[in-house]
Amino acid sequence: MSKQIKQFAVIGLGRFGGSVCRELHSLGHEVLAIDMHLVRVEEFVQYSTHAIQGNSTDEMFLKSIGIRNFDHVIVAIGENIQDSVLTTLSLKEFGISAVWVKAQNVYHQKVLEKIGADRVIHPEVEMGIRIAQSMSSDLLLDYINLSDEYSIIEIRATLPIHNRSLLDLNVRVKFGITILAINGKYNMNVSPSPSDIIFEGDILIAMGLNNDLKRFEDKMF
Ligand code: ATP
């Protein structure tokens, strides 16, 4: 099955926008890289499908590059909150359905939410939480916060659940969580069936309420 290629535009090629741009490009997507500074644009020619210099607060500029045709636009302007807000406003007025914006602080975040940003990203805060979560447990390898209550975790299976099936462990009923995948020594089992067995060292990807995930993690000791 071939991976769906999407069209992205990244506005602002600083550390955050730049790494988003590079990664999307290396994943094979079409990426339009935009920055107001020519040096940044030149640097990203090799990491994008097209790289254009321009000011994203200028609606005529956005129209001229056909921004309406993009599935997903990432606004990675940090320091200049006014430019970030104006750009987001224009993109939403153009009817772009997925506008993700980097916020500098909580006030910036609130404004972005009010004007319809589809996702507000706080890279430093989000990364801080993820690192703290994985530091606080030897077993927790990664953590994605879905909402205040729900998360997805990546956790290493230990001896207490070795050689037991999902049915036997009764994870759904006992813990209320869903095992999305078991990454074993030899293969990745996505959407495992109840009879599938977990072995010590397998990496489990589990989704559920934070408290339930914590209870499941405690079962490992
Ligand atoms: P990071 O922490 O990700 O490096 P930052 O939060 O410090 O970035 P800035 O450096 O202020 O954010 O902005 C990121 C990039 O956005 C810069 O390369 C800057 O030139 C570009 N930028 C800022 N305003 C605009 C604008 N109105 N139009 C296009 N590009 C812009």
Residues with CB under 6 A from ligand 1: 11-17, 34-37, 40, 55-57, 76-80, 83
Same domain? 178 vs 98: no
Same domain? 141 vs 199: yes
User: For a substitution probing ligand 1, which of 80, 81, 86, 105 has the most ligand atoms within 8 Å of its CB?
Assistant: 80
User: Quick check: is 49 in a domain?
Assistant: yes
Question: Last residue of a domain, which of 121, 141, 161?
Answer: 121
Write the residue with the smallest CA distance to atom 10 of ligand 1.
14
User: Quick check: is 144 in a domain?
Assistant: yes
Same domain? 13 vs 85: yes
Nearest-angstrom CA–CA distance, 143 and 11: 27
Same domain? 143 vs 199: yes
Query: Where do we find the tokens 């609606």?
Result: 59
pLDDT tens figures, 80-92: 999 999 999 999 9
Same domain? 108 vs 33: yes
Same domain? 33 vs 109: yes
pLDDT band for position 3 (cuts 50, 70, 90): low
Write the residue with the smallest CA distance to atom 24 of ligand 1.
77
Nearest 5°: phi and psi at 9?
-125, 135
| 46-55, 163-172, 185-194: range with highest mean pLDDT | 46-55
Relative to beta strand 72-75, strand 7-11 is: parallel
Q: Which of 54, 52, 65 is nearest to 96 (CA)?
A: 65
Same domain? 61 vs 135: no
Question: Last residue of a domain, which of 121, 152, 182?
Answer: 121
Question: Last residue of a domain, which of 121, 137, 154?
Answer: 121
pTM of the model: 0.74
Query: Is the model's pLDDT at 2 over the cut of 50?
Result: no
Same domain? 18 vs 93: yes
pLDDT band for position 221 (cuts 50, 70, 90): low
- Encode burial over 84-112: b for 16+ CB neighbours within 10 A, e otherwise: bbbbbbbbbebebeebbbbbbeeebbebb
Quote the number of domains for the chain: 2
- CATH number, residue 154: 3.30.70.1450
- CATH number, residue 62: 3.40.50.720
Range of the domain at 191: 126-220
Residues in the chain: 221
User: Quick check: is 1 in a domain?
Assistant: no
pLDDT tens figures, 162-187: 999 999 888 888 889 999 999 998 88
